[in-house]
Structure 1
């Protein structure tokens, strides 16, 4: 059975499945090709008749797949009640290290989340060099500008799908959470959403000198310079391959790029003073986005997923890595706080803190200082040796944790725990999107009330107290070139 909705550019035809209507591949901006390739997104061209929206739209150029077509700036909508008005809207901004973004990912299908009583939107944005490389003659942070264009589309069109344009929540994990933190302090995004959910916020925001050096290294692999005129005729897949070559060799750039070399991506938003004027922590503490309700959280074992690609380290190597983090409290404080950890476990704990856990906690502190209403959670549950790993909270909220993760083979007790926890997290996240209150005590930097998601979920004080004390006097900001 099909269903039609009129948008500002034309009518789209979607399809029903499991009581949810889905509309896929809807353009929210013009294809970023030709003179528009590295430009600010332009509005989508209108069409006559009814556009088929039953198939997924083309994702942006990214590793591991051949680019399918130029109309990358499209989105998908899942709704339990097209034509109705007043449902809360959840706009998903994908993670993936600013390298990957694909609404067709089965882990991020919005059907189950929409079934909890929300209109769910998943928007593609330019990733990799297309969206985030610093290119002379082009605006920085094109991927963020794409996200803003998608949010404007939501304001104009979501009522026809059953959503309330005055009650929009942005939801993002990892690079998506990093994007949302940037959107919170960008004047161009003001008023486009009412609430925000940030899962596993990375601390990586680049200074222009660092971003420019990374772009030079990537384009050098093509025999080009990071200038608009030099890159205009480079095939998107060739640019992806050049970026992938640098990504695979990131540890070799530690002398030039500092701790970025220990992350999985050479891309992040650039604090250029124009599109993104400053890093989010200081801006939120000064009152930016004080009217936006925030739900912020992370997993206990954030770095375990990334650590799988690394070898073990000895004491000297662990100390050198921790001391080189920017900012860093130093390896000595880690050894004092965690005397029983092996060098590898100490590295993984420090990297969990530096890359995800402490940026999230400090963002909550900053937003509270700036006058925003904040709630905080920590995922403590896991089903395998990775524990409460990076992205597991996202799968639980979307109700897709049993797809290709090994959970289905972990035993009936763990599957039952997962389903119960998934329903709880999804219900509380949608309650937050609907009302601005997920159902537990608000966060403040003194009491640090935290929703602890586990086999038996509770509300208590923040658990990572040793790490919190280690990082108490550090300040996250902008990463600069180090050599």
Structure 2
């Protein structure tokens, strides 16, 4: 099921809990008169919009539309245009389906028809002064199958108000970006992001940005793809600092990553090749993926879209490369929420279907020592088996790899390692039993607690003091290279963000990590 068709206007529609649509990028009070801001990039001139001292330039192509002869091929340079391109509204979104009903109330979907979706959006102060400004490039999440830079949660005005040029990136999703086909480069969506970052290096000065001070920030799948770029030998050509929020640090072996591609090919009756998939419309690939995913359990390990090891974009498993020293010259701010699993297991009801036997069998299958489960139970005496299992899975996917990554960079013998800062978001939302679930920190990082997206997850009364603290720390890292708390060391300091605004914990809950398998 691909969801309703977008209304025929350039801004598209946002669909969320209410099922109603509202125009994206058509807020009132935005100037679109002759005084609109202008800029010139290599491909041509652009005209944006200005509001409350912030200039926005939306839907600027960094690559040519990935259709026709360019479908399932690496990104190609954008074509030049004559005259002045209208950059006043968000552009097309990558083909995707809305989230399933259990999640749609928390995670809205933006749908904008069109092929020209390899674009960036820029927010910059209208009064930029003479000195070039620090740059923050944001890559959205969505399990590599969903998401858009046009979501209200990702509005860059809050960063631009602090003197930062904010850039958000769109890239190919699902099978268009991550199909595993013998005659197609793997991880095309990552190659898209690399092309976007090279565009930023070349062009951001036109918007007042400093091409020598670029920080990347990714959430969830966006952090996963940025981890792959951080692990490349030429990562420093692309960015200077990195913020990785709640993203896996690994890619799958090719055969495992190809499972979804094989299932889709089988369902559609085509060969898993470029010719086979090129014979199928993008909407059909999206629909096939949605049907296959609908029968999968969050804990069942069914086929999914994932980074695949191999090729130019992900030549090695990123975590292996990082532990071996890749990316050590780049400062990193990294972390997760304390209850990531709750977004995936609570709304679907899966958390309540886990029994003690399920937990025991899952522990044995994953080779998790019994003492790890006992440590969780000691700390959470009222937790259900599903909550314990969800917490262990969170630790295996995120907390343990983050700790290993940070430890590898804090080794005293590594003289060239840049600092690493680790955080954990702990504030518990009162909405729907979500607690400190995956994505809950975004409204605080963007200082956007009043947006519809943030309210859907955290309710209308999220603590502003916490948003002030997190947003201030992220701004400080982008501008000055230091978020303001103790850098990682053998003491393992973690900045715990809660309603108190944040405090340091040293090696928190280490007994829950000790003994977890490293694969």
Task: Give yes or no for contact 1:87–1:163 (8 Å, CA) kept in 2.
Answer: yes
Matched, 1:329 2:368: yes
Moved more, 162-171 or 187-196: 187-196
| Aligned equivalents of 1:399, 1:224: Cα separation in 2 | 47
1:30-429 matches, within 5 Å, as 30-64=64-98, 68-81=113-126, 84=129, 85-187=131-233, 189-251=235-297, 254=300, 260-261=301-302, 266-272=304-310, 274-308=312-346, 309=348, 310=350, 311-325=352-366, 328-331=367-370, 333-335=372-374, 337-339=376-378, 340=381, 341-369=383-411, 371-384=417-430, 385-404=433-452, 407=455, 414-415=461-462, 417=463, 419-429=464-474
Assess if the C-alpha contact under 8 Å between 1:200 and 1:357 holds in 2. no
Q: Partners of 2:294 and 2:319 in 1: how far apart?
A: 30
Q: CA RMSD in A?
A: 2.3
Aligned match of 1:475: 518
Tell me how many residue pairs correspond in the alignment. Answer: 460
Aligned match of 2:22 = none
Distance in 2 between residues matched to 1:16 and 1:337, nearest whole Å: 51
- Partner Cα separation in structure 2 for residue 410 and residue 194 of structure 1: 32
Return the alpha-carbon distance in structure 2 between the equivalents of residues 225 and 409 of structure 1. 41
How far apart are 1:225 and its partner, in Å?
Answer: 1.9
Q: Secondary structure at the match of 1:338?
A: helix
> CA offset at residue 198 of structure 1?
0.5
Gaps of 5+ in 2: 1-30, 99-109
Q: Which deviates more, 182-191 or 231-240?
A: 182-191
Q: In the TM superposition, what is the alpha-carbon distance from 1:475 to its structure 2 partner? A: 2.0
Residues 82 and 160 in structure 1, CA contact (< 8 A), matched pair in contact too: no
Q: Deviations over 1:124-148 (max 9, x none)?
A: 0101111111012110000000000
The structure-2 alpha-carbon separation of the partners of 1:331 and 1:178, relative to structure 1 and needing over 3 Å to count, comes to: farther
Distance apart, 1:363 and its partner CA? 2.4
CA pair 137-405 structure 1, distance change in 2 beyond 3 A = closer
Q: Which residue of 2 aligns with 1:481?
A: none
SS at match of 2:495: strand
- Is 1:454 equivalent to 2:488 in the alignment? no
Do the aligned partners of 2:62 and 2:195 also contact (CA within 8 Å) in 1?
yes
In structure 2, the CA distance between the partners of 1:302 and 1:338, relative to structure 1 (3 Å rule), is: same
Supply the distance in 2 between the matched residues of 1:405 and 1:292 (Cα, whole angstroms).
Answer: 32
C-alpha contact (below 8 Å) 2:60/2:87 kept by paired residues: yes
Q: Tell me the TM-score normalized by structure 2.
A: 0.84
Between 1:93-102 and 1:354-363, the stretch displaced more is 354-363
- Larger helix percent: 1
- Contact persistence 1:148–1:188 (CA under 8 A): no
73-82 vs 21-30, which deviates more?
Answer: 73-82
Q: Distance in 1 between matches of 2:269 and 2:325?
A: 45
TM-score (structure 1 length as normaliser): 0.90
